Structure 1
Amino acid sequence: MANVRWVADPMHSEVQFKVKHLMITTVTGYFNQFTVEAESEDEQFTGARNIVFTADVNSISTNNEQRDTHLKSPDFFDVEQHSEIRFVGTKYEHVGGDRFKLHGDLTIRDITKPVTVDVEFGGIVVDPYGQTKAGFTVNGKISRKEFGLTWNAVTEAGSVVVSDEIKLQAEVQLVKQA
């Protein structure tokens, strides 16, 4: 069985997270530098395995420099000690149609926990430059406190400033490697 190797096309992929602020609005952030690598049995992405995602925490952006600096501090990601977020897939499970569950181990701040995300397979296409590409939409949720991201504050009325639940969303375009 031949192995087909895939890597993310960073120009056509994005990784974002959403968190409730003051429990009334949502703030969106991005990791601007990340990698995704995977293998499959064939060009149709059958039998996907060895799926590894890494994000450079220093590339975090919420369109607010002060908030980004706070997120990089020991209060949150502690980028000086933990510069990378890593997800290693353990099982790519077909659940029907173009839907899959990707099970794996997520590591943030040297804390590793099992996580399952929903994957919608967008299909395979050959682009105008002859490159074979596979597209995916990924959605999931994690508890930030489970990964040591426990900083919070409470408003005068007793509301939490930052929610525990973090929504994950990614659009990933993988390129078949020669």
Structure 2
Amino acid sequence: MKLFSRDTSFRRTEQTVTPQPPTMSPAGGTALLPDPALAPLTGEWVIDPAHSRIGFSVRHAMVTTVRGSFAEYQSRLYFDGRDPSRSQAEIVLSTASVDTGVEQRDAHLVGRDFLDARNYPRMRFASTAVEMVGNDVYRMTGDLTIKARTRPVVLELTYIGHVTDPFGYQRAGFDGTTTINRTEWGLNYDSKLAEGGAMVSEKVRLQFDIAAIRTAPVG
């Protein structure tokens, strides 16, 4: 499924950028400037599923944590090493591909109590803004769509580094996290424990452990 073929509307158009004063750090002191070594990384990337994990963790029965991930997704990333604010990301996940390691639990998650994969086969994150907030630390704001409901979320991203692997591919690593209230996206399962607490917490931590690969330049 070519959700992100090169003729999609995601392709960036060059714009004339008016120089702006340096962005100041949150403390109002030293200006935050991108590492010049990142400039050559400017371009389009895709997530390498074999070495990445897009997952979640949620408190279960108030005493344990259940962790899971999505095995199937498509991605398109654009990283601007000279001006991180121009970077973009889009990820579309198959809701039916959720995997927590327990077949019965996965069947519950893809059912109507949670993701309702039959009626809503995709969930999507699309960035709307990127801000550099520290050395190798970025704040990415975006729209998260689950079950046809779209709400803003903020990811805290850490740049890990980049290498050229033995096969000649350029790779870059990022870790990202955010916490959402699942009920805001219609995931309203509310079974209670005998003690009065929730069987499944409303707070869900989303985790993006990303290994990205540089795509070939557009010819």
Question: Do they superpose with TM above 0.5?
Answer: yes
Q: 1:8 aligns with which of 40, 47, 51?
A: 47
Q: 1:70 aligns with which of 86, 102, 108?
A: 108
Describe the SS at the equivalent of 1:75: coil
Match of 1:168 in 2: 206
1:143 aligns with 2:186: no
Give the aligned CA root-mean-square deviation in angstroms: 1.8
- Distance (whole Å) between structure 1 residues aligned to residue 105 and residue 80 of structure 2: 43
Following TM superposition, where does structure 1 have runs of at least 4 consecutive aligned residues deviating by more than 3 angstroms?
A: 44-48
**Map of 1:96-111 to 2, 5 A cutoff?**
96-111=134-149
The Cα of 1:46 is off from its aligned counterpart by 4.4
By relative contact order (CA 8 Å, sep 6+), the higher-ranking structure is: 1
Gaps of 5+ in 2: 1-13, 15-39
1:81 aligns with 2:119: yes
1:36 aligns with 2:82: no
Residue deviations 1:57-87 (CA, integer Å, cap 9, x gap): 1110111111111111111100011011100
The answer to whether the Cα contact below 8 Å between 2:84 and 2:132 also exists between their aligned partners in 1 is no
- Distance (whole Å) between structure 1 residues aligned to residue 171 and residue 54 of structure 2: 18
Gaps of 5+ in 1: none
Q: 1:122 aligns with which of 130, 142, 160?
A: 160
Structure 1 residues 72 and 22, CA, compared in 2 at 3 Å: closer, same or farther? same
Report the TM-score when normalising by structure 1: 0.93
Q: 2:64 aligns with which of 8, 12, 25?
A: 25
Identity of aligned residues (%): 34
Structure 1 residues 146 and 159, CA, compared in 2 at 3 Å: closer, same or farther? same
- Distance (whole Å) between structure 1 residues aligned to residue 184 and residue 215 of structure 2: 36
Match of 1:155 in 2: 193
Q: Which has the larger radius of gyration?
A: 2
1:51 aligns with 2:89: yes
Structure 1 residues 92 and 4, CA, compared in 2 at 3 Å: closer, same or farther? same
